[in-house]
Chains A and B, each alone.
Chain A
Amino acid sequence: MTEKKPNPADLSGAYALNALGADEKADYEAYLAGSDEARTEAAELGDTALALGLAADPVQPSAGLKANLMAQLASTPQLSPLPVPEAAPADQATPADQATPEAGVVVTAVAPPAAASAEPSTRRSAAADRAQRRWFQRPAGMLAAAAAAVALFVGGTVVGQALNPNQFEQQQAARLAEINAAPDSQRAATTTTDGHPATLVWSGELGLSALMIKDLPALASDEDYQLWYMNDDGAVPAGTFDSTGSGTVWRVLEGTMHAGDQVGVTVEPQGGSPQPTSAPIVAIQS
């Protein structure tokens, strides 16, 4: 008995055990979306995996962990609920995939360097607006949810060049979550030359930083904002981005942050420059 095509039903065990790669997982969830029976089985096997999880010996966390968490809640935005159209079964897919970041997208107006023509910023919806309003109110938050995504990077270096916008957002969000969760995470706030609030969060241990700016004006289409790490040796380019003009735009800087680096933003011709060609609109000392 030979099978020509892999039968998705064979993946039910691996799926419940979280042993699938990202692609296979997506395929399997597409299969689940179309089958009530498969969804029931997936839920049952998920509960079976829970029994395995609860059979691990409990470990008491250190007291500091809870205190630390509670202190972060106020500045951590909650995602807006996924808009759930109650109708088609196809919309009730992916029982175990609650954490995809697609709807409450907080990453706005950020164009991946290698896919600069794609414009994720055009995706606007009521949910995204709502999420963004929350983000304003608590701009210092993070999007840990998306760290769930896939392990797209290794040791702080981007793997693969041509990420699509969605992967790029997930990667950015995952890194921001990492920075925020790092034991040595720090932040500093200032304003741009136009008076827009800007916040830098960084972790020296990770060598990563992220900059968020509120209501940064949109640029002409032949211009980009460019990020820089600046120190005594000069300026090192750290990625480009654009802004829709409203909401908080943020971006995890490319490259490695070194202790004492300043992070700056300049306006550059589209695609960025090897060295700054204009005065920074904002500079923050890490």
Chain B
Amino acid sequence: MLVLMTADSTYDLESTAPATKEELLGRIAQGDQAAFGELYDQIAPRVLGLVKRLLVDHAQSEEVTQEIFLEIWQTATRYEAKRGGASTWIMTMAHRRAVDRIRASQAGRDRDTKIGIRDLVAPYDHVSETVEVRIEHERVKKAMSRLTELQREAVSLAYYGGFSHSEVAERLQIPLGTVKTRLSDGMIRLRDELGVAS
């Protein structure tokens, strides 16, 4: 199993007992509603935080967050711990649903007119309340700073902007192949900087 070396351990605090998200998903798969409530409490602010980062609009973001948690409820039966951590599973789903919303609806266009592209790609725009989050921001920010500016721009547009690689190519007016390379090189660099290993 793959472990994100530092980020997740900050939250799971396995020794001091709140059930891990993996355990909770196992119980949810059995129809355990209390486990679902517990998982929600643990991760809903992170899910909504990411969704809102992409969609901007609060009401829409709550709506999508609701869909995400219903999907978690419905598909916990198909989560397999051996394929990856629960947080990755959930946040990947959250990102996908937010992007689906952008691509399927008016939401994306509304968002694009509401805010400039520069705001879209700057992930550190607030002073965070908690120490953990701030540490994490610092870690990611530092890792991001090791990318070339072009890599950073492409990765940010794709992830925080929710743009497909061809949309990124279009916006930056560069060939698609170049975008693919920047995204892959950028992610591999980030992986190494963050110490994500199998």
What bracket does the count of chain B residues touching chain A fall in? 35 or more
Q: List residues of chain B with CB within 8 A of the CB of A52.
A: 123, 140, 155, 159-160, 190
- Interface pair B4/A50, CB less than 8 Å apart: yes
Find the B residue at minimum CB distance from A99. B75
Chain B window 44-85, contacts with chain A (Cβ cutoff 8 Å), 1 for yes, 0 for no: 111011101100001001110111011101111111100111
- Interface pair A51/B140, CB less than 8 Å apart: yes
Task: Report the interface size for chain A: residues with CB under 8 A from the other chain.
Answer: 69
Find the A residue at minimum CB distance from B197. A44
- Tell which of A56, A61, A79, A142 has the most Cβ of chain B within 10 Å: A56
The CA-CA distance from A82 to B79 in the complex, in Å, is 9
One of B12-20, B86-94, B112-120 at the interface: B86-94
Chain A window 51-68, contacts with chain B (Cβ cutoff 8 Å), 1 for yes, 0 for no: 111111111111001101
- Tell which of B2, B33, B41 has the most Cβ of chain A within 10 Å: B2
- Interface pair A14/B7, CB less than 8 Å apart: no
If A48-B194, A53-B95, A99-B75 touch, does A65 touch B164 (CB 8 Å cutoff)?
no
Q: Does A166 contact B (CB under 8 A)?
A: no
- Interface pair B87/A50, CB less than 8 Å apart: yes
Shortest beta-carbon distance from A200 to chain B in Å: 20
Q: Which of A48, A58, A69 contacts B70 (CB 8 A)?
A: A69
The CA-CA distance from A121 to B125 in the complex, in Å, is 51
Considering only residues 85-144 of chain B, those with a C-beta below 8 Å from chain A are 85, 87-89, 91-97, 99-100, 103-106, 123-126, 128, 130, 133, 136-137, 139-141, 143
Q: List residues of chain A with CB within 8 A of the CB of B45.
A: 58-61
- Interface pair B77/A45, CB less than 8 Å apart: no
If A13-B183, A51-B4, A181-B66 touch, does A19 touch B93 (CB 8 Å cutoff)?
no
Q: Does B29 contact A (CB under 8 A)?
A: yes
- Interface pair B52/A59, CB less than 8 Å apart: yes
* Chain A residues at the B interface, C-beta cutoff of 8 Å: 6, 9-14, 16-21, 40, 43-62, 65-66, 68-70, 72-74, 76-82, 84, 92, 95-96, 98-99, 142-145, 147-148, 151, 153-155, 177, 180-181, 183
* Chain B residues at the A interface, C-beta cutoff of 8 Å: 2-4, 7-8, 29, 31, 33, 36-37, 40-41, 44-46, 48-50, 52-53, 58, 61-63, 65-67, 69-71, 73-80, 83-85, 87-89, 91-97, 99-100, 103-106, 123-126, 128, 130, 133, 136-137, 139-141, 143, 155, 158-160, 163-166, 168, 177, 179-188, 190-191, 194, 196-198
With A81-B29, A177-B67 given, name 4 new contacts (CB 8 A). Answer: A17-B155, A45-B191, A66-B41, A80-B77
Counting from the closest, the 6 A-B pairs by CB-CB distance are A13-B183, A13-B184, A151-B104, A58-B45, A13-B187, A55-B140
A-B contacts, 13 listed (Cβ < 8 Å): A12-B188, A19-B159, A43-B198, A46-B2, A47-B191, A50-B4, A50-B8, A55-B141, A58-B46, A61-B45, A73-B36, A98-B78, A147-B100
